[in-house]
Structure 1
Amino acid sequence: MERYTKTAIALHWLIALLIVAAFILGLVMTDIPGLTPTKLKYYSWHKWMGVTVLALAAGRLLWRLKEQPPELPASMTQSQKKAAEAGHWFLYFLMFAVPISGYLYTTAAGVPVVYLGLLKIPSLFDASPALKEILKPVHYWLNMLLAAVVIGHIAAALKHHFIDKDGLLKRMLP
């Protein structure tokens, strides 16, 4: 069975690791009461991961538009193939929507995003308490949706590996 390129595999697993880490860190940091140095550090790390995911997702999308991915197994029905493709494009959408919504939420809160503590990402607008209240749940629910889609993606990969035994998962393993 044809495999993904080394670039695609590296981007896939790096983005996956960062998404999981940013998600867990987001849950941890928001549970810390008050405004502590640890909480501020975690918020910075969370933002850095989000910016990195956005940049890597852009690279992955450019790769995907340039390179044709390996064919899906012939054993998959047309509806399964269409669902897989739709799921992948939805993951791409969320890999952009989640960090962008986080950036917009942070901007609305009046807090700058300084990537790795070195590069200030310009704000598109001034702080807006009203917009902050709208963007906070948008960012939260986009994250929950991303978590659900990632879990579905993992479940589908495991089904193909252990039940269908069609080699689909092996195409993306390093």
Structure 2
Amino acid sequence: MSASITNTSTRYGWAAIVLHWLIALIFIGQFALGFVMVRLTSQRTAFELIQLHKSFGFLLLGLIILRIAWRIGNAGPALPRSVGSLERRTAPLAHFALYAFQLALPLSGWALVSVSMLEIPSMPFNLFVMPNLPLAESDAAESFWAAAHWYLAYAGIALVALHALAALRHHFWLKDTVLTRMITPSSDRDME
């Protein structure tokens, strides 16, 4: 019996699990990094952390696009029978909101650096220059995208916290498989 890369009707496969946890780790790390970098007094350290934040933001954008493509092409497992009808209706909306925020947040960051009057190039992990989005530079646009990025970050982390609490509720209170199926991958036996 070997672990499967694809999802089955009862469990997620390796691809979905790895993408889920990698995106979660980067998303939470980005929030922490963003929180710290804007509060530093050392401009040099802040600049270096901002460049790192931009690098992980572009990586996150690529991973979430890959995750959405995988989700479209590889249906997730059905919810356990113990899940009520209200939750069955709201769970897809919650997942859609998570995907939307995970896309909007790095895109708003990319827009922010694209409209910045400072014109500092983005070099993800110092590998190449990422072109700016075709947006006009201005102080007003920079203020708008900075505020949008800030609000999206806090709303996104609130959604992630609710998502985590819901998973813990399923595991510890309802004692169903909602959390474990995102930890233990599907296997050949699940496909029989």
The TM-score bracket by the shorter chain reads: over 0.9
Higher RCO, Cα 8 Å, sep 6+:
2
Query: Which of 12, 15, 20 is 1:7 aligned to?
Result: 15
Contact 2:115 / 2:142 at 8 angstroms: preserved in 1? yes
Q: Distance in 2 between matches of 1:133 and 1:125?
A: 14
Output the amino acid matched with 1:86: L
Output the amino acid matched with 1:136: A
What is the CA-CA distance between 1:65 and the residue it aligns to?
Answer: 0.3
Structure 2 gaps, min length 5:
1-8, 185-192
Which residue is 1:119 aligned to? 128
Where in structure 1 do 4 or more consecutive aligned residues deviate above 4 Å? Answer: none
Number of residue pairs aligned between Structure 1 and Structure 2? 173
Which residue is 2:67 aligned to? 60
Question: Equivalent residue of 1:113, what SS?
Answer: coil
Q: Does 1:71 align with 2:78?
A: yes
Which residue is 1:134 aligned to? 144
Query: Which of 7, 10, 27 is 1:19 aligned to?
Result: 27
The normalised TM-score by structure 2 is 0.87
The normalised TM-score by structure 1 is 0.95
Deviations, residues 108-164 of structure 1 (Å, cap 9, x unaligned): 113321111121111123421110011111000000000100000000000000000
Output the amino acid matched with 1:87: A
Which residue is 1:163 aligned to? 173
Which residue is 1:38 aligned to? 45
Q: Distance in 2 between matches of 1:111 and 1:162?
A: 48
